[in-house]
Every structure is written in structure tokens, then in C-alpha cells.
Structure 1
Amino acid sequence: MENSEGKIWTGQFFVALINNFFLFIVYYALLTILPVYIINDLKGTEGQAGLAITIFMLSAIAVRPFAGKIIEKFGKRKILLISELFFCISTILYVFIDSLPLLFALRLFHGIWFSLVTTVLISIVNDIIPDSRKGAGIGYFSMSSNLAVVFGPFIALTTIQWSTFKILVIALATAVVIGYLFAFTLKVREYQVPRTTEKRARLTLHDLFEVKALPIAIIAGLTAFAYTSVMSFISVYAETKDVFEYVSLFFVVFAVAMMSVRPITGPLYDTKGPSAVLYPSFIFFAAGLFLLSTMDSAVTLFIAAVLIGVGYGSVVPCAQALAIQSAEKHRSAHATSTFWTFFDSGMALGAFSLGIVSAHWGYSSLYVVCGFVIIFTIVIYWLLLRGHKKVTYTDSASVQGK
């Protein structure tokens, strides 16, 4: 529940942050290790390994637009506890998977609950953070998922070296179950929907998307598209440049750079507005991508990691806070689902189309293209959101605490 003292690091915030960290640890650990498990243990092909990843993403994307309406109808607390319960069950079920059809079915099922639980958790933590510190608070909360990008693959790859896939799954399941138990301690604020929007004869665009969040959601989609070049292709690109052994350190440097600027970018957002953070962050991000296109050594790789960590690592939490604050409080779940629908779609489209770019023109050209995508994103941001200097909430419906 939102506090009135301007504090971010409350017990409630910490519980939500750790919970989110565990959820994304599972997501990124499985993203890293499932292709290896499919090829080596289930005797699948590289195409089937890619399909297992794609099914999860498509499942999550398909549910995102409906997440806000579902949360609005049944309440944040109920959806949190139900969706996280099924996320835990889904994680545990990987222990029993011994065939590709079962794995594909589980990935479809898992993606649904991942989509719902991550959407509702952001909506809940938004109420915990005081209005005056939204930029800093959302930034720190987002850092939990960004850190999982590093720790998830590290845990997965380290564990699999001395143990089995099933032991890894048991460890991941234990973590999310602990997070789920702590979720019961969260005090959730439920917002009553204005009567004018309570009853509708049929499903409308308003039920699926928050129109006020669409401009920044478009920005998020373009940003995610460009970042896919890092998530999906940095390893194979590094291998062609004979610096593959430094890829894991790339993400460590990325995380350190991101964390180093977070105490600056959050307060800057709250005092000077989103543009003060987004414009320089886009420039750092683009510079990092252009530098990757010329990579010829580990030093270049690490400098790019710093630039991308400062740039991309600042853009996403800032954009997410802006999306949430663009709507009335009772529509925060819709704004969140709109943001992540476009973000996830950008990732999926990027993984597909950039694979074609790399196949025809090479990885260096891929990073040049993505650098120009971010330059284009700056122009789109200027056209759509240049008027946003400092964001404050519009008061909305009365609330009832639970």
C-alpha cells in the first residue's frame, strides 16, 4: 500500500522486489538452459529448441492485452495469488517432462501465468511507491528483473555443469515457492472502477489497452526490438570475433553499469521529468550498439556493455514509470499490460527479423541497423511525448485496502 512518508525501501517494497527477482530468475534460467536440455536430453533439433522459446513468448504476448481487464475484474490480490501459484506449479512440472510435446504444452501454460503475475506485481508495487518517487521506485524495482538477466543464466549454466536439469528445476522451484509464500504478506490496494466503465456490452479496445500509454508503449517496443540484438545474438557474434569466453562478463559489466547510474536516473526522472533521462539514455544505448558493430576485442565488448547498461538499463524503467503514470490509478494494470504487450512483441519481432538480417548481411550490420532503430526511436519519442516534462497522477476512483 502506498506510503505517505516518501520512503521507497519499505518491507512491502522489498517483498515485491525479491518476488519479482525470483520470477525472472526462473524465466532467464530456463531461457538459457532449455535449448541445451532439448538438444542433449530430449534429442530435439535446434529448430525445436527455438520453438520452445517462441511458444512461451507468444503465450505471454497473447495474454498481455487481457491482463488489465482480468485484474480489474477479479482484483489484484486474487490474481496475484492465483497466477503465482500456477507459475510455481508450472516450474515444478519441468521435473516430470520427458518428451517434446509435453514440453511445448508446458511452455504454453507457463507463459500465461508469467504474463499475468508480472503484470499484476508491477501494478501492486506501483501503489507501494509514493507518487513523488515513482521514477526512483520503479527504477529500483525494474532492476530486479534486469539483474535476473545476469544471475538467471549464471545459475543455470553453473548448476548444469556439476548437476542435472532436474536439480536445477528443483532449485528454481524452491525459490519461486518461497517468493509465493511471502506474497501473502503484501497489502494490496484495490481501486474501484468508475461506474461509467463498469459495464460494457462487449469487449472493446478500452478493455484491452490503455490508450494514454500507447505512445510510450510504442517507444518500449522499438527499444525491445533493438535490445534483442544483444540478448539473442551477442554470444554467436562474440564467437565469430574470438571473444566468446568474455560474454558472461559482458552481462556482469552491463549489470554494474546499470546499477551505478540508477541512484542518479531515478531522482532525475522525479525532479526533471522523463525526457531528462530518456534522451541521454537513448544516445548511450545507440552508441553501445554502434560500437558493437565494430567490435574487435574484449575491451570493445566491455565498453559497449557499459554504454548499453547505462542506456538500455535506464530507458526501460523510466519508460515503464511513464506508462503507469500516464493513466488514472485504477487503470495502472491496463497501462502495465499495454507497455509489456508492445515490449514483448518488439522482442519477438526482433528475434525473427534480426535473424534474417544477420543471415544475409552479418552481425556487424545487425548492430548498425539496431543503432539506427534507436536513433529513429528518439525521433518518435520527440514527436509523441516531447511535452512530458514532469509527470503527475490524475486522481481517480476511491480505493479500498486489503
Structure 2
Amino acid sequence: MSQSQPKLWTKNFISISLSNFFVFFSFYILLVTLPTFALDELHTSASQAGLMTTIFLLSAIVTRPLAGQWLERAGNKKVLLTAVILFAGVSVFYFFPTTISGFLIIRLLHGIGFGMATTAMGGIVADIIPASRRGEGMGYFVLSTNMAMVLGPFIGLMTIQQWGSQTLFTLAGIVSLGSLLAALSVKIKKPKKNNEIEVLSSFSIKGLFEASAVPISIVGSFLAIVYSALLSFISIYATEIHVANVASLFFVVYAIVLLLSRPFTGKWLDAYGPNVITYPCLVLFAIGMFILSKSGGAFTFLLSAGIIGLGWGTLFPTFQTIAIQDAEPRKRGLATATFLSIYDTGMALGSFVVGLIAAKMDYSSLYFLFSFYVLIGIVLYYFLHTKKRKASIKVENDLQQSKVQEI
């Protein structure tokens, strides 16, 4: 790193990234285990077990726009601490219910804490990262989510299989407490009073979303449908093609490739802009899905994981960076909320729609079709971002030219 570059790895950046890691670690620990717990110990139906995830995600999606506006009204630190206290506090109550109804109430409250926390963290990290290193910084921040995605399911399944549900809930509570402790060490400057007054006086339904973040959020949501198909069905597909013994390594390889590529891709985003990253990564994502659909053994299965990791794993933080950069500084929290809400809607719809499609065809054919679906994302990105950006730049240049002529 050159001496002229502003510092990225500050105490604040490390603390908020750790807090984010622990929140998502707890999320993934429970995501993969609660449906099984509901079936085996509560003796529910499969549809009721699935509600454990659906209720959680829906409450998070609904909460995020409200949390985004609250960030403007009350300040980042207050929202963050309220969110992680709620998230950690609700974790304690998993020990008590004996019916599915009781667990669904807890999942509803836990989802509210999750939606608030992840929105606040996204807004805070956007303010902490130096503007000249935002692409690089967002890449590393999102990497904390990727690490949780790899470790959470693995440790969660091992815990419930080896030591049972009570140990699982204890672990989830301890991890949530880690998020609170990390959040407490984040130091944030208080917002300027005049900005606060301006925001307080302008509450509206329209103000729940940041308009500048919507176009790139739609692109992210469109592609999230493919990612949801990977999260939901990759282990079933691995069994289908007789590579179940390496299924757990899919997201490990995914994360390793991300970790190795992150120092380069983030810097390229800052130096050359999003198009240099986005178009090649969309092609890589499509190639990865194609190879996955044609996998006949462990090598091609894990090769596709690496290519998808480089493709989609780089696209997600790139899109989130675009959403933040296109918003006014005081609306970064709201832009984060808008992006994550629309993205998670794609994830939730994707799991449902892909489940219906998967009932009609095998997973190999499904992933094959998705390789072409991703290529449609190139067209969508061009019209919703590249073309619009070119038009706005032309308008800015014309205005500057007219001012020069006046002088």
C-alpha cells in the first residue's frame, strides 16, 4: 500500500467487519439446522419447517427500509446497538418454546434484529471506508459475510449432530454476543444537527427507499435468484451426480477463491470503475453455472465453485458499492437498506420459484438454463446502469461546457 493512500484497516473497520461476521455466522448456524430441528424434534411438516426461514427473511426485508430511514433520523451508532442488542437478546429465547408457533414468533423478532443490524452495518462501513478505497473496502467487508456462509452451516450441522439442539442454541447465543461486543467498540461521529433536523422533518413512505440505489438493486435481485438456487439445492445436486462426499467443500472453494482475488478486484473497481469488473464477472458467473450443470465428477464440481466464487462473489460487493456511491453521503444507510431489501426479495422469491421449477426438471438442466439466465443479466446491467451512467455523464459535461461558454 502506498503511503499516499488513506488507511483502510482501522479499528472501526475491523470492529464493524467482525460484528457483521458474527451476525451472519449466527444466521447461517440456524439457517441450515432449524428446519431439521423442526422436523425431528417438533415433528412438524416440511412446509412448517420451511417457515422457520421464510418468516425470518420476510421480517428482515420489511424491517430494512424502516431501519434505513431510522439511520438518518437517530444516527448510525444508536441503531446499530439497538439492533445487535435485540439480535443477541432474542437468541436467548430459543431454549424455551415447545411448539412451532413459539419458534415462529422468535424467528419473526430475530429477523427484525437481523434486518436492522445488517442495514446499520452496511451504512456505517460505507462511512468508515475512505472514498478512494470504497470498492476494495466493501469487498473485504462482504468477505466477512462469505466466511460466515462457509463456517456457519458446517459448524451448525456438526454441533446439532454431535451435541444436540441445546448446545446449538448456546453456540448461536454466544456468537450473537460476540457481535454486540464488537459493535460496542465502533466509534462513530455524531451527525450534524442541521442534517438531522432536515431528515426529521421529511418522513414519508417514499423516503423509505433511496431512488438512486433501485436500478442496481434490481440487477442484484435478478441474479440473486440464481444464487438462491445454489444455496438451496447444491447439496441435493451433489448427491444426484454422485459427488456428495465433496458437497461441503463447494462453498469452501468458493470462499478461498474470493479470499485470493479480493485484494485485486477491489482495487481494480476503485481504479477503473465498476464496468471493468462487472462485465467479465457476469461472464465468469455464467461459465461457472454451465460447468456446474455439466459436472460429472468432483473436479468439475469444485472447479465450478471457484469460477462462480470469482464471478458472483465479486459481483455482490460491486453492486453494493455502486448503490452506496450513487447516493448522497447522508443517505448511504438508506441506500444500503434499499439494496439489501430488494436483493433479499430476489433471494426469497428465488428459493420458492426455483423449488417449483426443480420439481419439473433435474438440477443439471436447471443449472444449465441458469447459465443463460445470467447472460441476460449483462443486458439488464447495461440498460439499468451503464447506459444511465453514460447519459448522466453527458448531461454533466453539457452543463460544464455551457458554463465555460458563459464565462
Instruction: Please classify the TM superposition score into its range, dividing by the shorter chain length.
Output: over 0.9
RMSD over aligned CA atoms reads 1.8
Deviation at 1:227, TM superposition (A): 0.5
Instruction: Show the 5 A alignment for 1:1-400.
Output: 6-192=6-192, 193=195, 198-200=200-202, 203-205=204-206, 207-386=207-386, 388=389
Deviation at 1:170, TM superposition (A): 1.0
Give the residue type in structure 1 aligned to 2:205. T
Deviations 1:121-177 (A, max 9, x none): 111111111111000001000000011110001111121232111112212211221
Of stretches 33-42 and 92-101 in structure 1, the one that deviates more from structure 2 is 92-101
Q: Distance in 1 between matches of 2:279 and 2:190?
A: 35
Deviations 1:77-125 (A, max 9, x none): 1111111101001112112232111001111111111000110011111
Question: Structure 1 240/87 Cα, relative in aligned 2: closer, same or farther at 3 Å?
Answer: same
Deviation at 1:369, TM superposition (A): 2.8
Deviations 1:342-389 (A, max 9, x none): 110000111011111111122122212322221111111111211559
Q: Which runs of 5+ in 2 are unaligned?
A: 394-407
Deviation at 1:217, TM superposition (A): 0.5
Deviation at 1:60, TM superposition (A): 0.9
SS at match of 2:359: helix
Deviations 1:275-308 (A, max 9, x none): 1111111111111111222122111110110111
SS at match of 1:189: coil
Question: Structure 1 368/152 Cα, relative in aligned 2: closer, same or farther at 3 Å?
Answer: same
Give the residue type in structure 2 aligned to 1:204. I
Contact 2:223–2:377, Cα closer than 8 Å, also in 1? yes
Of stretches 50-59 and 68-77 in structure 1, the one that deviates more from structure 2 is 68-77
SS at match of 1:6: coil
Which residue in the other structure is 1:397 paired with?
Answer: none
Task: State the TM-score, normalizing by the size of structure 1.
Answer: 0.92
Deviations 1:232-284 (A, max 9, x none): 11111111111112110111111111111111100000000011111111111
Contact 1:268–1:277, Cα closer than 8 Å, also in 2? yes
Contact 1:213–1:326, Cα closer than 8 Å, also in 2? yes
Please identify which structure carries the higher helix content.
Answer: 2
Contact 2:73–2:200, Cα closer than 8 Å, also in 1? no
Deviation at 1:203, TM superposition (A): 2.1
Deviation at 1:197, TM superposition (A): 5.0
Q: Distance in 1 between matches of 2:318 and 2:120?
A: 18
Q: Distance in 2 between matches of 1:67 and 1:13?
A: 21
Q: Distance in 2 between matches of 1:69 and 1:108?
A: 21
Larger radius of gyration: 2
Contact 1:229–1:370, Cα closer than 8 Å, also in 2? no
Aligned length: 386
SS at match of 1:386: helix
Contact 1:39–1:46, Cα closer than 8 Å, also in 2? yes
